[in-house]
Amino acid sequence: MPDTSLTPGAPILTCRGCGGDRLEQVLDLGRQSACDHFPPADDPGPDPRWPLGLTMCRGCTLVQLDHVSPPEEEALAVESATLRRHAEEVTTRILDRVELPERPRVREFSSHHGGSWIEAWRTRGAAEVDTDADLVIDNQSIIHSERMDSDLAERVTALGEHGALVIEFHHALRQVRGGQFDTVRHGHPLYFSLHAWSATCERHGLVIVDAWAEEVFGGCLLVVARRAGNGCEPSETVAEILTAEKDAGITDPAGYALLRDLARTVRTDVVGHLQAAKDTGRTIAAYGAGSKACTFLGAADIGPDLLPYTADLSPEKQGRRMPGVGVPIVSPDELVRRAPEEVLILTWDIADEVVMQLRRAGSNARYVVPLPRLREA
């Protein structure tokens, strides 16, 4: 199994999942700063950088960071209205599709990136427990683990004999098809397809019984697993998703050529667009200082010369700068006051929410999003 005591920046030589050594790099974004490191705006740097890329295990098809991440720093993000609404909506969908007792016993493993669904379950009469749970929820949590097998074992231990493990993760299929290279970040070592998650579950005595797409974060998958031998047959959507993954080639390293090509095209298009704005005197700013924005700006090498500032709702980020590239972070109110002619929405997965927020505050800008291709929002 992989040596999880390796220092930040050390290469991964064995799969974080199955422990195999047949790893093949599928994406290289160069050396990038950590996506949770936001220095004060007057800090001249330079910021520390580490390799950032993806490798695929030819044994279990797990896609993962190809180097050990630096230690994560305190999260400074503010939970979006889109994410809060998703907690309510996904809870309803789980109740509709997963057979559970009337007042289920629930254990949640959440992360600061995925928010928490537990309050939505409490309002529906669920009891929060540590063990013997009818439902164990992994909400964007295990994807941040360098110790996947031991962390999954903890979730299985919390699961009752007839319970269901529900996980939501960013779907590798959507990542590749949408050119979503900015979903790759330090501190997020695991990138699952349904094939890879199925193999992971099998090692822990679980079988997949249902799965469906969720639109949050630009395209996630929600997967339901139960203990093997419980008599449950997989739903039709499980076979459909597995087939779609196979057809798209994401179970083979060659399939990631599409992600590399789309990433190269988008970066070229956005840099060219910003350069044209600068050359013609068109004022432009960005919105978003989350992990996607950090990876996007860093991988495209976009600094203050092309992008004077970006706005973010988090008061803890305002007055700081984007790691590695030095773009200052201001408040949304300050963006509205400066009245740029155009706003590049780096948090493209919540573009509708951002546009509505800024327009209500008085912005008359044109809004564009970078992915899957540069276009008007």
Enumerate domains of the chain plus CATH numbers.
81-256 (3.40.50.150), 270-376 (3.40.50.720)
Cβ atoms of 345 and 357 within 8 Å: the answer is: no
Residue 362 phi, psi (nearest 5): 110, 5
Alpha helix positions (H), 193-304: 194-203, 236-248, 257-280, 291-300
Tell how many helices (H) and how many strands (E) occur in the chain: 10, 16
- Write the CB contacts of 370 (distance below 8 Å, at least 6 apart in sequence): 266, 269, 270, 296, 344, 345, 346, 348
Q: Kindly compute the dihedral angle of the four CA atoms of residues 240, 151, 69, 116, in this order, to the nearest 10 degrees.
A: 70
The one-digit pLDDT tens for each residue of the chain (377 residues) are 444 457 889 999 999 999 999 999 999 999 999 999 999 999 998 999 999 999 999 999 999 999 999 988 777 777 888 999 999 999 999 999 999 999 999 999 987 676 899 999 999 999 999 999 999 999 999 999 999 999 999 999 999 999 999 999 999 999 999 999 999 999 999 999 999 999 999 999 999 999 999 999 999 999 999 999 877 889 999 999 999 999 999 999 999 999 999 999 999 999 999 999 999 999 999 999 999 999 999 999 999 999 999 999 999 999 999 999 999 999 999 999 999 999 999 999 999 999 999 999 999 999 999 999 999 99
Rounded-to-integer distance, Cα 211 and Cα 244, Å: 13
| Residue whose C-alpha is closest to residue 328's, from 317, 339, 338, 336 | 317
What is the residue whose two structure tokens read 């520390």? 48
